[in-house]
């Protein structure tokens, strides 16, 4: 078991390599940011970077705010050479390059829960639940992770400026929907009842650049990332109406912000702090 204590003992935070026990040959990188008055009861937030795999930058985006927000932030970096391209990160390793399904034990979505377990076992956090913020590719990782039940100990989930979504529709095949997966109407209802916060920069409307998903299945979700965010939440409420359940999803527009990880992180600070400091946020 790797000693993770430096994540909370190094003044201001630090970075270190980390290996998940399910993927012993693949190295992750953890970057922490600490408030000055850190205690075991300080709320914990995992931050997920975009396609640039720049976890340190995302830690730094939050580091300027951890004192005011009283948050312990760990940015989880999936290096490109260790977890290449979208299959391992954006889509959670549900399938291999040949399109064959991987067993659930090999899904990278499970890395976050196992890391949280280690942080608790080592006394680095005393929290029973944690928050998640993901921007761009990280937003894809976060909402797809939640779609498969990895949410029992999640107190807050923010997906910001995602390029595509696993729409809450069992007739749309994975990864652009939840069809042809283990998700059924019952598990979909559970997902819809979980309070996902979708953040969308109103200026995130550029369709140029190699990282904007513009294949036919992506374009069916909307012409821009902003449109796709609203379509995801709209379809969630539509699915909930069909199933006769409530949908707890909300969308927050961030005025005049484009595809910018720093500015979207800054906009998410107050949302994250309010949710993670709520009295019920750490109950099971």
| Every domain of the chain and the residues it spans | 6-276
pTM for the model: 0.96
User: Measured between alpha carbons, how far is 187 from 129 in angstroms, rounded to an integer?
Assistant: 21
The model's pLDDT over 7-19, given as tens digits with 9 standing for 90+, comes to 999 989 999 999 9
Residue 4 pLDDT > 90 = yes
Average pLDDT over residues 110-124: 97
pLDDT value for 195: 97
**Residue 256: CA count within 13 A, CB half-sphere:** 0
CA 102 from chain centre, in angstroms, equals 21
- Among 168, 157, 237, smallest CA distance to 198 is for 157
Residue 82 pLDDT > 50 = yes
> Over pLDDT 90: what percentage of the chain?
94
User: Measured between alpha carbons, how far is 196 from 194 in angstroms, rounded to an integer?
Assistant: 6
Q: Which two tokens stand for residue 19?
A: 């290996």
Residue with tokens 């970077």: 49
Residue with tokens 């040959």: 25
User: Measured between alpha carbons, how far is 169 from 147 in angstroms, rounded to an integer?
Assistant: 11
User: Measured between alpha carbons, how far is 35 from 64 in angstroms, rounded to an integer?
Assistant: 9
The model's pLDDT over 163-218, given as tens digits with 9 standing for 90+, comes to 999 999 999 999 999 999 999 999 999 999 999 999 999 999 999 888 999 999 99
3-state secondary structure of 106: helix
3-state secondary structure of 200: strand
Backbone angles phi, psi at 93, to 5 degrees: 65, 30
- Among 152, 158, 195, 143, smallest CA distance to 58 is for 158
Between β-strands 27-33 and 250-254, what pairing exists: parallel, antiparallel or unpaired?
Answer: unpaired
Backbone angles phi, psi at 146, to 5 degrees: -65, -30
User: Measured between alpha carbons, how far is 204 from 188 in angstroms, rounded to an integer?
Assistant: 28
pLDDT value for 282: 56
User: Measured between alpha carbons, how far is 64 from 60 in angstroms, rounded to an integer?
Assistant: 7
Q: How confident is the model at residue 284 (pLDDT cuts 50, 70, 90)?
A: very low
The region of weakest confidence among 23-27, 33-37, 277-281 is 277-281
Is CATH 3.40.50.1820 what the domain over 6-276 is classified as, yes or no?
A: yes
Q: Between 147 and 284, whose confidence is greater?
A: 147
């Amino acid at each position: 078991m790797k000693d993770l204590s430096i994540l909370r003992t190094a003044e201001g935070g630090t970075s270190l390599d980390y290996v998940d026990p399910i993927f012993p040959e693949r190295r992750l990188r953890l970057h922490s940011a600490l408030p000055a008055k850190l205690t075991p009861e300080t709320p914990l937030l995992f931050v997920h970077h975009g396609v640039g795999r720049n976890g340190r930058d995302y830690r730094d985006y939050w580091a300027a705010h951890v004192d005011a927000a009283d948050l312990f932030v760990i940015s989880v970096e999936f290096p490109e050479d260790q977890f290449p391209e979208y299959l391992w990160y954006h889509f959670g390793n549900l399938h291999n390059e040949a399109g064959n399904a991987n067993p659930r034990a090999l899904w990278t979505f499970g890395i976050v829960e196992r890391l949280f377990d280690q942080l608790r076992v080592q006394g680095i956090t005393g929290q029973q639940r944690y928050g998640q913020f993901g921007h761009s590719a990280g937003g894809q990782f976060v909402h797809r992770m939640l779609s498969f039940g990895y949410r029992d100990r999640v107190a807050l989930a923010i997906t910001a400026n995602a390029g595509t979504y696993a729409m809450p529709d069992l007739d749309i095949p994975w990864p652009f929907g939840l069809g042809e997966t283990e998700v059924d109407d019952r598990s979909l209802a559970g997902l819809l009842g979980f309070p996902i916060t979708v953040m969308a920069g109103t200026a995130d409307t550029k369709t140029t650049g190699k990282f904007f998903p513009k294949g036919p299945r992506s374009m069916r979700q909307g012409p821009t990332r902003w449109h796709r965010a609203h379509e995801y939440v709209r379809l969630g409420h539509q699915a909930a109406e069909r199933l006769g359940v409530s949908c707890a999803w909300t969308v927050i527009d961030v005025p005049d912000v484009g595809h910018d990880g720093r500015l979207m992180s800054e906009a998410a600070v107050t949302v994250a702090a309010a949710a993670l400091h709520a009295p019920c946020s750490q109950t099971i």
